[in-house]
Amino acid sequence: MKAPKVLEHIKPAHINCGSEDIAPIVVMPGDPLRAKYIAENFLSEAKLVSDTRNMFAYTGTYKGVRLTVMGSGMGMPSMSIYAFELFYFFGVEKIIRVGTCGGLDPKLNIPDIILADSSYNEGNFAYAYNGDPTHLVLPSKELNKNIIATSKELGTHITTGTVMTTENFDFYSNHEAILNRVPKNIKIIAGEMEAFALFHIADSFDKQASCILTVVDSKFSETFMSQEDREKSLNESITLALESIIK
């Protein structure tokens, strides 16, 4: 199903810049401060192009390729706003989410890197967005293939699998009850809060989207990555996203 129609006079309400200020490829962390960190430490000539609601968007170059890095905020509603506006109003072609997740597979350790090859959500986001009753969505095959190839070039180990996109922070909920409701033919390896919305909206526009995640906590461990590390110490996954999206 395609993207919902928008009234012709509507302009983007959450990204305040000209269409030329956003590059056609976007790396998208959840935390706007992580977007700032990426811009300051990985991009050349990075310029803050939008800061509405402190959701920072920077455009610069990485290895000579123009790109934008922008925060998405937490959860599907926030992701859906920014992803929709980027695809619809700014003509973005590719988005790679680079975020964090909770490990739900005993084989995963902190800080392993995951590439989502599908996302499961038990709610009605897709139906509310465009009448699609699906609960399982896929990323771009082409972009995922590129990320896998790039990970091998960089020597970066990644695990692929299905992530569960929850509508609240899963460790602050009836965690086991949620997992027990997942269909038995779907093996969930991690939990996060944005990928389903990104994949579904990208598909509605026939655009490309992928999701790279770093495990920062786990159902099987009492260790948690600190808030400071979550903001600034995901360099391996950030590099993988940047190297992949420019190819």
CA neighbor of 159 nearest in space, from 219, 95, 224, 108: 108
What's the confidence (pLDDT) of residue 175? Answer: 77
| Residue 218: band (very low, low, confident or very high) from pLDDT cuts 50, 70, 90 | confident
- Provide the 10 A C-beta neighbour count for residue 41: 11
Give domain 19-245's CATH architecture: 3-Layer(aba) Sandwich (3.40)
- pLDDT greater than 90 at residue 22: yes
What's the confidence (pLDDT) of residue 201? Answer: 98
- pLDDT greater than 90 at residue 220: no
| Residue 1: band (very low, low, confident or very high) from pLDDT cuts 50, 70, 90 | confident
Percent of the chain with pLDDT over 90: 83
Among 167-176, 198-207, 212-221, which is the least confidently predicted range? 167-176
Which tokens hold the place of 136?
């399982």
pLDDT tens digit sequence for 92-102: 999 999 999 99
Q: Choose between 87 and 228: higher pLDDT.
A: 87
What's the confidence (pLDDT) of residue 232? Answer: 61
3-state secondary structure the chain: CCCCCCCCCCCCCCCCCCHHHCCCEEEECCCHHHHHHHHHHHCEEEEEEECHHHCCEEEEEECCEEEEEECCCCCHHHHHHHHHHHHHHHCCCEEEEEEEEEECCCCCCCCCEEEEEEEECCCCHHHHHHCCCCCEECCCHHHHHHHHHHHHHHCCCEEEEEEEECCCCHHHCCHHHHHHCCCCCCCEEEEECCHHHHHHHHHHCCCEEEEEEEEEEECCCCCCCCHHHHHHCCHHHHHHHHHHHCC
What's the confidence (pLDDT) of residue 26? Answer: 99
Radius of gyration of the CA atoms of the chain, in A: 17
Percent of the chain with pLDDT over 70: 98
pLDDT tens digit sequence for 96-151: 999 999 999 999 998 999 999 999 999 999 999 999 999 999 999 999 999 999 99
What's the confidence (pLDDT) of residue 64? Answer: 98
- pLDDT greater than 70 at residue 230: no
Q: Which residues are catalytic?
A: 217
| Residue 174: band (very low, low, confident or very high) from pLDDT cuts 50, 70, 90 | confident
User: Assign residue 59 a region: left if phi > 0, alpha if psi is -120 to 50, beta otherwise?
Assistant: beta
pLDDT tens digit sequence for 35-83: 999 999 999 999 999 999 999 999 999 999 999 999 999 999 999 999 9
